Amino acid sequence: MAIDDIVIVGGGTAGWMTAAALSRLSASGRANVTLIESEAIGTVGVGEATIPHFVAFNKLLGIDEAVLLAEVQGTFKLGIHFENWGAQGASYFHPFGGYGYEFDGLSFHHIWHMMRRGGDRRPLHVFNAETMAAQAHKFARTGPDHPEDLPPINYAYHLDAGRYARFLRKHAEARGVSRAEGRVTDVSLDGESGFVTAVTLDDGRQVRGDLFVDCSGFRGLLIEQALETGYEDWTHWLPCDRAVALPCARKGPPMPYTRSTAWSAGWQWTVPLQHRNGNGHVYSSAFMSSDEALDILLRNIDSEPAADPNHLRFVTGRRKKFWNRNVVAVGLAAGFMEPLESTSIHLISTAVSKLLSLLSLDAITPVQEDTFNRLTEKEYVRIRDFLILHYKVTDRCDSPFWDYCRTMSIPDTLEEKLALFRHNGHVFREEDELFTETSWVAVMLGQGLVPEKCSPLAETYAGPNLIHEVNEIERSIRYLVQNMPGHQQFVERYCPAP
Ligand code: FAD
């Protein structure tokens, strides 16, 4: 079976990211790529915070960073500042870069933990450049290609997702992707194989295809409504199932980080863009009404709303299969986990990368389907566990929601990770798991989980030389940050919005 026609259903972030990545095929004439979208239905379009892999995704598409950021009114993100999570009034920073450096393979946090037990009161974050820069509201792109050869700063972007989709549309259409405007009203299946053969639009047009990418959002038009793939519901571990989004005017310079503030039955995001702040409140409808959620949000934004509140519903979980027959689900059609660690757009980029690696233009085989599903399931499960960690490791007992989260049973995979860390601070990153040791350490320590013992290896480094070395790490980070420009200054010079 030749794959001549690839049809993408949906033109949100997922649809246009897929189209941009597949446009190499249309540009070279190897396959026709068509994207169908309906302006009448619209997109979710609240995805605004990303993680560093997203920087790499755009680089692979050959997109100039400064041009992109100017178009999407973007700013830089060094990590996430969490407030009220481990306890009310407590806060910590989850940075993108690592702490200090490794001592013969031993991660720096073990050294820090040992020194702390010996009376050194310095917080771990003074050994992390991203946290120190974020606190000082500074930013610079450093690394080997930088004239001063400074150590690299790890970063991602905040962006306006609607503008990003429009930007990618131009990129994809210029490379031969066709766009069809219309609402899909019917899906035709082959009687024998059960493959999707065509979709029908509301004006009667039929769009035929060999491979379909379902980017139709929560409704999962092909993967669920047509193929009845099934959904695994994770609400019992991640009970938030609603959000209210409310963009606002921005006061003061944009922060180079996302803010996540926990409230009594969920949390609020603040994402600074060049022209506004993205705000929203993610909450659990079992513990809070939509009026209450909006009221909390309105009381905790510092400027005038720039639009009406947008209320959204979701079910946390994943499709039982992400690739089913000749349909590959990408984006919200594949599953959803709340935006606590900005993983949705990342999951779009990894789905697209896997699709490109597995795709052949002469057949669709069970092995492609199985590989895609196995790898994607692992990714989802690991991200899920990392998100549950934020709710489980807490001292909060001020509301029924936090009582539920603190005492709920958790997956065995997460239970093991917590037990290992509690014992002597070890974190094992499994295979190519998205979240690094730094991420797990930042959140576990940040939320109050302190290892009972030190790593015995750390103790072998104790002595005056170690103190000198550790002081030097702190000094060089302070020097680096001191010499960085302010974040706003950097944005104004590098990627000002037109
Ligand atoms: P959608 O945006 O819903 O697009 C669906 C597309 O399908 C639309 O073009 C629509 O017109 C089309 N369509 C649907 N039905 C039909 C039909 N019958 N006929 C034709 N076309 C149809 N992600 C992050 O990475 N970072 C964040 O900070 C972040 N914040 C979020 C906050 C909230 C509250 C939510 C809900 C999500 C957030 N996300 C975030 C996720 C992010 O918004 C989505 O992953 C991303 O926008 C992808 O959406 P999508 O393209 O899959 O779906």
Q: Which 3-state string (H, E, C) describes 370-397?
A: HHHHHHHHHHHHHHHHHHHHHHHCCCCC
Same structural domain for residues 307 and 345? no
Ligand 1, atom nearest to 346 Cα: 25
Quick one: DSSP state of residue 296? H
Same structural domain for residues 166 and 292? no
Specify the CATH number for the domain of residue 41: 3.50.50.60
Say if residue 148's pLDDT is above 80: no
- The residue segments making up the domain with residue 278 are 242-313
Same structural domain for residues 284 and 170? no
Confidence of residue 45 (pLDDT cuts 50, 70, 90): confident
Is residue 263 assigned to a domain? yes
Catalytic residue among 59, 77, 251, 392: 77
Is residue 379 assigned to a domain? no
Task: Tell me what the mean pLDDT of segment 165-175 comes to.
Answer: 97
**H or E, element range at 38:** none
Output the average pLDDT for the chain. Answer: 95
Same structural domain for residues 223 and 324? yes
Q: What pLDDT, on a 0 to 100 scale, did the predictor assign at position 145?
A: 57
Quick one: DSSP state of residue 75? E
Is residue 142 assigned to a domain? no
Q: How far apart are CA 144 and CA 481, in angstroms?
A: 17
Q: How far apart are CA 319 and CA 327, in angstroms?
A: 12
Say if residue 421's pLDDT is above 70: yes
Active site residue 77: yes
Is residue 124 assigned to a domain? no
Per-residue pLDDT tens digits for 443-475: 999 999 999 999 999 999 999 999 999 999 999
Per-residue pLDDT tens digits for 97-139: 999 999 999 999 999 999 999 999 999 999 999 999 999 999 9
256 lines ligand 1 (CB under 6 A): no
221 lines ligand 1 (CB under 6 A): yes
Is residue 424 assigned to a domain? no
Which residue(s) pair with 432 in the sheet?
A: none
Same structural domain for residues 194 and 217? yes
459: annotated binding-site residue?
Answer: no
Q: What pLDDT, on a 0 to 100 scale, did the predictor assign at position 1?
A: 79
Per-residue pLDDT tens digits for 228-252: 999 999 999 999 999 999 999 888 9
Provide the b/e sequence for 418-438 (b: ≥16 CB within 10 Å).
Answer: beebbebbbbeeeeebbbbbb
Domain count along the chain: 2
331 lines ligand 1 (CB under 6 A): yes
Same structural domain for residues 167 and 285? no
Is residue 212 assigned to a domain? yes
244 lines ligand 1 (CB under 6 A): no
Task: Please state, in angstroms and as integers, the Cα–Cα distance from residue 343 to each residue in 49, 157, 279, 332, 386, following that order.
Answer: 9, 13, 17, 12, 11
Q: What pLDDT, on a 0 to 100 scale, did the predictor assign at position 176?
A: 97
Task: Quickly count: other Cβ atoms within 10 Å of residue 334's Cβ.
Answer: 25
Is residue 343 assigned to a domain? yes
Predicted complex ipTM? 0.99
Same structural domain for residues 179 and 304? no
Same structural domain for residues 248 and 308? yes
Is residue 295 assigned to a domain? yes
Q: What pLDDT, on a 0 to 100 scale, did the predictor assign at position 217?
A: 97
Same structural domain for residues 308 and 251? yes
Q: How far apart are CA 232 and CA 212, in angstroms?
A: 22
Say if residue 431's pLDDT is above 80: no
Task: Tell me what the mean pLDDT of segment 398-421 comes to.
Answer: 97
Q: What pLDDT, on a 0 to 100 scale, did the predictor assign at position 177?
A: 98
Same structural domain for residues 202 and 188? yes
Same structural domain for residues 308 and 264? yes
Give this prediction's pTM.
Answer: 0.96
Say if residue 147's pLDDT is above 60: no
Same structural domain for residues 249 and 268? yes
Q: Hunting for tokens 């972007």 — which residue is that?
A: 157
Say if residue 151's pLDDT is above 90: no
Ligand 1, atom nearest to 182 Cα: 20
